[in-house]
Each structure stands twice: as structure tokens, then as C-alpha cells.
A and B are shown apart, each in its own frame.
Chain A
């Protein structure tokens, strides 16, 4: 039973399997600044989980600790059955966790194709044919990347760069895809195109953890959502239920005590 939401585990949609990712008591500090102050979180295999919360709530820091970009100050991360607390990000990718970072971080001075090849860095030696086939698959999923396959990634539009970042992440054939701020700087039209792709990927069996500032999108596509504030998980629950929850809107616009 979750103390805050009052929702028992059996009320949630049945997770497809054991958790692929589970985080417990995670803390992240920058020097003396504590950005994440003890977070518990789990993503079931095949689940699509969101984290929402205002800026500075600690979402990105949480993701960075999970994906190995930085070392947590405390707590543990278990991924795919192994304790991966403090493993570097290149190790996590090899284990099957890929990340689409905030701001996309495509390799702007290299071609779209090279970006995709780099996405497959951990497996290209072992499986060059598989990588080639996957690149084909990506260009079908995102035809605009196919059209610009030899163009420098830096010349792509923001939306195209986000597609590239997703495709690059997928090329490592991850078990869990972690996405940070998909919507950042993107027009609604592009988001309306990108979110269904994620839903489709999830239906095909990919577990996804999505951090998103735009709560409406996150709540619409995910199974379950955590709401963070001030480095802690405020509450979590089924996304459908949270979409109608006053506390979510209040947390964003400060409309406290108006109901």
C-alpha cells in the first residue's frame, strides 16, 4: 500500500514481469547541494513510467544517477537483476539501458548515419548486419532521418534531432529506454508525432522511463507516474488517475487551497 496515494499495488495495471529497474533510497548531491533526497522508484518489465515535476525538482539528477552519468551519494540502483549502483554510463549501455538525454546531445559534427552507428557502439563489432538492419528500421520509423542520413546532425531541426536521439538510443537494443525532457524546445505538432512512437515502442515490449515537464503528455502516454518535488517523490500512481488529480495541477501553478 502506498502511503501517500492510498493505492494498493493490485490496483495498478499488472506489470508484465519483475521490475527491470528498481531504485531505492537514492540520493544525489552536487557538492553540498542535495538534489535528490532519497527516492524509491521501480519500472516493471514492459512498463511505461513517467516522472513529472516542476523544474529543479531533481528529475534530471535522478536520471543521471540511474544511467551512471554521475555517482549517487547514497541508495542503490538495481537494473536487470544486478546491482549497478555507481556503474559508469558506458557500462549501463552495455547492460541494456539507453538514455535519450536532456537537450538531445546528438553528435552535431557527425552525420546522421554516424550518430546511429555510434548508438550501436557496444554491439556493432559482434553484429554488423543486425546494426545495418536496425538502421533501416529506424529510417522507416522516422522517414525524415532517412532523407537526411548523410547530413550533419547539427543541421537538423530540433524535432529531427530528438528523433535521432531516440533512434540512436534504440540502436543499442536496450531493455529500458530512459528519456529526459522529450518536449524541451519542441513544438506541440512534433510532440504529437513523437509520443505515439513511444507508445508503439512500448507495445512492442520496450520498457520506458520518461521524465517530462509537460505533465499532460506524460500522463496521457504512461501507465504510471511519479510526481517529484524538491528532490523527493511527492506521490505516485496510475497515470489515468493522476490526470484528474488536483494536486498535480496545483504543484505546477501554485493553486493551493482553491478547491
Chain B
């Protein structure tokens, strides 16, 4: 029973990270029908830049804010420089390769400048674990689901209650129609990538104290976030949250009952199978193919 509680709690925590990264993909995809393929690097920048800022003597909270802002700007810049020029035609895939290229550069530059060793990200919430229903867990890990709820609710409110959010949904629905009510769809897309950057960087900096910050921390998590978003049906935010959390919990149970080593192999295989069974995603809507 204790083991189950432990898996549920840690799974919830890591699942929240997948969900937040997945939401980042959701925000990018809805606005642009394209994503930053190496979005994991934005996630990584959130944690790494916080450590760098702390090195400069900046206190934790302002350092975190600076890091998220910088990562968001980087995310928006990638949209402008690497996605937009390669996403002119429907079904273009050039952006996939260009974002992989820029992601590779970011990751290796970080390795060179930041060092290849993981660094701790100090957080008062990650010092002593607490006991909860027989399971041991850092408060920092419990912060993640809370952050996820805040982010998901905030995103929902943003999309429904603000003009910018409505405009973003309008662009997602129909770029032409959005233009015809006076919305500059290109600008909205740029902002969307920036918002996605905030989500990704926030996830990175929140998990940083638990897993340590390193240049390679984002690669696999970015891919998992993308897969989670895809199997949820990438145009459904609630689905992405549910799929992300479920995947995190499933991973912990696989680790616990099968083996840590087989975690990703089983997890990815599972996701590929789900995608084959539900090509539109678990919560996605069927699109009518025009001939």
C-alpha cells in the first residue's frame, strides 16, 4: 500500500512535468500547426538559467523569473527565426529540421558553457522529505501538481476570458478568418510560442531541484511531452493534462513493478501503440480529410 502511495505521488509529480511540457506543445501547435521540435531545450533553459542567475548572486525567486523570461524570449525567437520561414505551406516539415538544428546548438552550447555535470538547483522545498501516507516525498515534488493546476486553470482562463486568448483561439480555428477581424496572426503565433516557452521553462525550473539542472535534462522529457500531447490529441488541453499525468503515474508503476531500465522502452512502445489505435489521439476529434 505504501509503495502504491509512493508511486502515485511521485508519478503525479513527474506526470505534472510531462503535462506542462505537453501543454507547451499544445499552445504552439494550436497557433502555428507546427512546434519547436526540441522544446525540451526551453525546459532545460528554465532550470539551467536559474542556476546561472543564482551563480551571479541573484536570489532564487528573481533568478527564476529572469530565467523564465529569457527562455520565453528564446522560444519566441525560435518561432520567428526557425519556424515561420519554414512553415509557409500547408504540411511543410522544414520547421521540424530547423528546430532540431537550433535545439542541437542550444544543447551543445549549454554543455560547453555550463559544463556537462548536473548542478543542484537550491530550493527550500527540496531539503527534507516529508512523509505522506507512508510515502516519502519532497515538498518540491508536491508543488508540481499544484503548479500544473494553476497553469492549466490559468491557461483556460486566458483562452476564455482575455482578448489575446480569444484571438489565439481564433487563429487556431481559422487563420484567414482571424485576419478578417483584424488579428495579426503572425504576431499571435509569436506570442503563443513565448507563452509555451513560459510553460516549458517553468516546468524545468520546478523539477530542477529534484532532478538537478543539466544541459541534457530536456531531451527525453521534451519528446515525452510531445508524445503525451499527440496521444491526447494535440488540440485538446484538458486531454493533454490528463494524458501527461497518467503517463507519469504509469511510468512510476512500471519502474516499481517491472524495472527502471525498461521504463522508457515500455512507455514509448505503449504510446506508439496507443497512437496506432487512436490516430487522432485519445481525446482528439476526427478531422475530415478534404479531397
Q: Measuring CB to CB, which residues of chain A are less than 8 angstroms from any residue of chain B?
A: 67-69, 88-90, 93-94, 98-99, 101, 105-110, 114, 117-119, 121-122, 124-125, 168-169, 172
A-B contact list, 15 entries, CB within 8 Å: A89-B182, A90-B185, A98-B180, A98-B181, A99-B180, A101-B176, A107-B177, A109-B173, A110-B173, A119-B181, A121-B163, A122-B182, A124-B163, A168-B181, A169-B180
- 18 further A-B contacts with Cβ under 8 Å, apart from A89-B176, A93-B179, A118-B183, are A68-B179, A90-B179, A90-B184, A90-B185, A93-B180, A101-B176, A105-B174, A105-B176, A107-B170, A107-B177, A108-B173, A109-B173, A110-B169, A118-B181, A121-B183, A122-B182, A125-B163, A168-B181
**B169 touching A172, Cβ below 8 Å:** no
Would you call B76 an interface residue if the criterion is a C-beta within 8 Å of the partner chain's C-beta atoms?
no
**A90 touching B169, Cβ below 8 Å:** no
**B169 touching A67, Cβ below 8 Å:** no
Q: Which residues of A contact B180 (CB under 8 A)?
A: 67, 69, 89, 93, 98-99, 101, 105, 169
Give Cα A124 to B160, complex, Å: 16
Q: Taking A88-B184, A101-B180, A122-B182 as contacts, is the C-beta distance between A107 and B163 under 8 angstroms?
A: no
Q: Which residues of A contact B181 (CB under 8 A)?
A: 93, 98, 118-119, 121-122, 168-169, 172
| Chain A proximity mask over B146-174: 1 for CB below 8 Å, otherwise 0 | 00000000000000100100110110011
Give Cα A98 to B179, complex, Å: 10
Give Cα A12 to B169, complex, Å: 45
Give the residue among A109, A114, A121 with the most B Cβ atoms within 10 A. Answer: A121
Q: Which residues of B contact A109 (CB under 8 A)?
A: 169, 173
What's the dominant secondary structure at chain A's contact region?
loop
Q: Taking A119-B181, A121-B182, A172-B181 as contacts, is the C-beta distance between A107 and B169 under 8 angstroms?
A: yes
Give Cα A106 to B160, complex, Å: 16
Q: Nearest-CB distance from B163 to chain A (Å)?
A: 6
- Nearest CB in chain A to that of B160: its residue: A114
Q: Which residues of A contact B179 (CB under 8 A)?
A: 68-69, 88-90, 93
Q: Which residues of B contact A172 (CB under 8 A)?
A: 181-182
Give Cα A89 to B181, complex, Å: 8
Q: Which residues of A contact B178 (CB under 8 A)?
A: 118
| Chain A proximity mask over B255-289: 1 for CB below 8 Å, otherwise 0 | 00000000000000000000000000000000000
Give Cα A69 to B182, complex, Å: 11
Give Cα A191 to B180, complex, Å: 23
Give Cα A216 to B183, complex, Å: 35
Give the residue among B163, B170, B177, B184 with the most A Cβ atoms within 10 A. Answer: B177
**B182 touching A117, Cβ below 8 Å:** no
Q: Nearest-CB distance from B175 to chain A (Å)?
A: 10
Give Cα A189 to B279, complex, Å: 42
Instruction: Please pick, from A89, A98, A106, A118, the residue contacting B167 in the complex, using a CB distance under 8 A.
Output: A118
Please name the 9 residue pairs, one residue from A and one from B, whose CB atoms are nearest each other, closest first: A93-B182, A89-B179, A105-B177, A122-B182, A90-B184, A121-B182, A99-B180, A90-B182, A107-B173
**B167 touching A121, Cβ below 8 Å:** yes
Give the residue among B169, B181, B183 with the most A Cβ atoms within 10 A. Answer: B181
Give Cα A121 to B183, complex, Å: 7
Give Cα A107 to B167, complex, Å: 10
Give the residue among A93, A107, A122, A169 with the most B Cβ atoms within 10 A. Answer: A107
Give Cα A108 to B177, complex, Å: 11
**B183 touching A90, Cβ below 8 Å:** yes
Give Cα A125 to B162, complex, Å: 11
Q: Nearest-CB distance from A169 to chain B (Å)?
A: 8
Q: Which residues of B contact A125 (CB under 8 A)?
A: 163
Give the residue among B160, B180, B183, B185 with the most A Cβ atoms within 10 A. Answer: B180
**A114 touching B166, Cβ below 8 Å:** yes
Give the residue among A90, A101, A124, A172 with the most B Cβ atoms within 10 A. Answer: A90
Give Cα A119 to B185, complex, Å: 14
Q: Which residues of B contact A121 (CB under 8 A)?
A: 163, 167, 181-183
Give Cα A109 to B30, complex, Å: 13
Q: Nearest-CB distance from A138 to chain B (Å)?
A: 14
- Nearest CB in chain A to that of B173: its residue: A107
Q: Nearest-CB distance from B179 to chain A (Å)?
A: 4
**A110 touching B170, Cβ below 8 Å:** yes
Q: Nearest-CB distance from A3 to chain B (Å)?
A: 34
Give Cα A121 to B160, complex, Å: 15
Q: Which residues of B contact A94 (CB under 8 A)?
A: 182
Tell me which residues from 172 to 201 in chain B have a Cβ below 8 Å from any Cβ of chain A: 173-174, 176-185
Give Cα A153 to B274, complex, Å: 32
Q: Which residues of B contact A107 (CB under 8 A)?
A: 169-170, 173-174, 177
Q: Which residues of A contact B182 (CB under 8 A)?
A: 89-90, 93-94, 121-122, 172
Q: Which residues of A contact B170 (CB under 8 A)?
A: 107, 110, 118
Give Cα A27 to B185, complex, Å: 25
Q: Which residues of A contact B177 (CB under 8 A)?
A: 101, 105-107
Tell me which residues from 105 to 153 in chain B have a Cβ below 8 Å from any Cβ of chain A: none
Q: Nearest-CB distance from A115 to chain B (Å)?
A: 9
